[in-house]
Chains A and B, each alone.
Chain A
Amino acid sequence: MTIGKKLWALIIIKLALIFLLLRLFFFPNVLQERYDTDEERAEAVRNALTK
């Protein structure tokens, strides 16, 4: 395997791990997932920051 092929393989495996595994299953955007509108998100943050 040439060094170029090794590096392409490494890049593809890494990007797949980052975007298909980590992003989808481990790193949800908490506010985006839990609330539908920006107003709700703002209120959630207000409650969190002023409790």
Chain B
Amino acid sequence: MNDLLGVVDWSRAQFALTAMYHWLFVPLTIGLSLIVAIMETIYVRTGQERWKGITKYWMTLFGINFACGVATGIILEFEFGTNWSNYSWFVGDIFGAPLAIEGILAFFMEATFIAVMFFGWKKVSKRFHLASTWLTALGVSLSALWILVANAWMQRPVGMEFDPDQMRNVMTDFWAVALSPMAINKFFHAVTSGWVLAAAFVVGVSAWMLLKKSNVQAAKDSIKVATWVGLAGIVLVMWTGDGSAVEVSRSQPMKLAAMEGLYDGKEGQELVGFGILNNDKKPGDDLDPMHFSIDLPYGLSILANHDAESYVPGINDLIAGRETNPETGKMMQTPSYEERILIGQEAQQALRDYGVAKQQGDTAAMASAAKTVKDNFEYFGYGYLDSPEQAVPNVPLTFYAFRIMVMAGGLLLLLFLVLIAANLKTKKLLDNKLMLWACILSIPLVWVCSQSGWIVAEAGRQPWVIQNLMPCNAAISDISAGSVQATFWVFAAIFTGLLIAEISIMLRFISASAKRNIEQSNK
């Protein structure tokens, strides 16, 4: 058992490490491809050669990031087969189909048009080149779509039926999987967050050029384009974040409760604007969950259900089975977690019986067991929990990551608004050193914001690898913790090397650009 726990913990750590490193590169690829496409559009529409130079400058930085980031996501797929083999089998073709589509799009669409984008400047017409740049941006986003569809299915499994004979879920409705509200929200939230990240990157690098008094006009023009992309991105991120909150409240109410450090909910629930958690607080005890908090009245009810008077359950309520009725916004009783554990165990016993009946060729017993599995499948995963409290995620991690994401997002919104004002009114603002340093510091800030968002999404849904159906400890392979530990450190070394390579190549390129005119497109 200790070894199993070791395997689970190390496999989770390895997956988190890989995913977080992967997500350092991906949002910059998504957002920078859009910014480069807009810059090239300006070049084609105005015919000004200087915009060609500016486009090629940012395209080179896009290329450095793409080269470092490409294929880092494939390692996640390796991990499925090695560390998470039960999970990989259990999800069947549901995970496989979106990943296969992603592979086709990534390798054919992106690879084709990215080649034209980088190497076709003198080989194809201006308009064909521009189309290739836009198609690269589209391909990057579309390939993100399919991995996010797969992720959304894990958070809200739909469009499938479990087959006890194959021991895997079979997709029954592709469109229910691809167009689930969770998937749509997640896609737009993630892609537009990439716009924000790339915009902050362009703004920060351009601010550095302004500080160095190099390429001043090109830097100001780059800031202008990036600011509008960043502002559009952050507004869309907030809008889709609002949609995500509604989805989470319906599909993963425990995650929402953890995000808020909420143990006992009510109708007209306030939102914690700022707070310090009491880390000694446990479900069911009498301790106050917060040492200190500034609350926004009715805020959480509005966020979760778009209804100020609606009920929002806390962790204790959820364990007792109290959830929100999505139709009325009132409290409704569902099976308590104790009951769900029993239901899950009954489904697992029936699945075991199915296997025995199958070996004996007893078709009647197989049918009976299959029906029991089907009737109780909704809470199948609870059968692996020893106690209801195991269904509670790491509250402090989820709570603080959520606040860091929101606060960093708020600062970025403010930055883009100030920059818009600087563009429209007081152009001298971009001569202010303090302002330029704020722009440069927005680069680490936006990455912290982006990573925090994923921590909320993934740590907040623990212990589930598939919501309500499979916890991490059931998804794991029968392998040794030592082998996972070894590959964890191999990954840590490889990814850190890649990151150092990316940062050092980028810094050298940016530093060298200060000594030349980046508006000259033949360089």
A residues adjacent to B (C-beta < 8 A): 3, 6-8, 10-11, 14-15, 17-18, 22-23, 26-32, 38, 41-43, 45-50
Given contacts A23-B78, A46-B167, contact A7 B86 (CB under 8 A): no
Identify which of residues 163-207 in chain B touch chain A, using a CB-to-CB cut-off of 8 Å.
Answer: 165-168
**Assembly CA distance A50 to B357 (angstroms):** 14
Say whether B60 faces chain A, with CB atoms less than 8 Å apart: yes
B350 CB to closest chain A CB, in angstroms? 9
Shortest CB–CB separation between residue A31 and chain B, in angstroms?
5
Which residues of the partner chain B approach A29 to less than 8 Å between Cβ atoms?
81-82, 85
Judging by beta carbons under 8 Å apart, are B67 and A11 in contact?
yes
The reply to whether the CB of B71 lies closer than 8 angstroms to some CB of chain A is yes
**Residue B121 is within 8 A (CB to CB) of chain A in the complex:** no
CB-contact partner of A42 in B64, B68, B70, B168, under 8 A: B168
A sample of 22 inter-chain contacts (CB < 8 A) reads A3-B64, A6-B505, A10-B67, A10-B68, A10-B501, A11-B67, A26-B487, A27-B75, A27-B487, A29-B82, A30-B479, A31-B85, A32-B81, A42-B89, A42-B166, A43-B167, A46-B351, A47-B355, A48-B478, A49-B90, A50-B351, A50-B355
With both chains docked as a complex, state the minimum distance between the C-beta of A20 and any C-beta of chain B, in angstroms: 13
Residues of B477-500 contacting chain A, CB below 8 A? 477-479, 483, 486-487, 490, 494, 498
Q: Is B143 interfacial (CB 8 A cutoff)? A: no
Q: How far is the CB of B120 from chain A (nearest CB, A)?
A: 14
Question: Which residues on A sit within 8 Å (CB–CB) of B354?
Answer: 46
Asked if B290 is at the interface of the complex by the 8 Å CB criterion, the answer is no
Q: List residues of chain B with CB under 8 Å of any chain A CB.
A: 60, 63-64, 67-68, 70-71, 74-75, 78-79, 81-82, 85-86, 88-90, 165-168, 348-349, 351-352, 354-355, 474, 477-479, 483, 486-487, 490, 494, 498, 501, 505, 509
Whether A43 and B78, one on each chain, are in contact in the complex, defined by CB atoms closer than 8 angstroms, is no
Q: Kindly list chain A residues whose C-beta atoms are within 8 Å of the C-beta of B74.
A: 18
Complex CA–CA separation, A43 to B165 (angstroms) = 9
A41 to chain B: closest CB distance in Å?
A: 6
B90 neighbours in A (Cβ, 8 Å):
45, 49
B352 touches A50 (CB 8 A): yes
B167 touches A42 (CB 8 A): yes
Are A49 and B474 touching (Cβ within 8 A)? yes
**Number of interchain pairs (Cβ within 8 Å):** 95
A6 CB to closest chain B CB, in angstroms?
6
Determine if B348 and A26 form an interchain contact, defined as CB atoms under 8 angstroms apart: no
Q: Cβ of B498 and Cβ of A14 under 8 Å apart?
A: yes
Chain A residues, CB < 8 A from B348:
49-50
Given A17-B494, A30-B85, A49-B90; 17 other pairs, CB 8 A cutoff: A3-B60, A8-B67, A10-B67, A10-B505, A14-B70, A22-B494, A26-B486, A26-B490, A27-B81, A28-B82, A30-B477, A30-B479, A31-B85, A31-B88, A32-B81, A43-B167, A45-B90
Contacts of A18 in B (CB 8 A): 71, 74-75
Tell which of B63, B71, B81, B490 touches A30, judged by Cβ atoms closer than 8 Å: B81
What separation, in Å, do the CA atoms of A45 and B63 have in the docked complex?
43
Shortest CB–CB separation between residue A47 and chain B, in angstroms? 8
With a cutoff of 8 Å between Cβ atoms, the chain A residues found around residue B509 in the complex are: 3
In the docked arrangement, what's the CA distance between A47 and B89, Å? 13
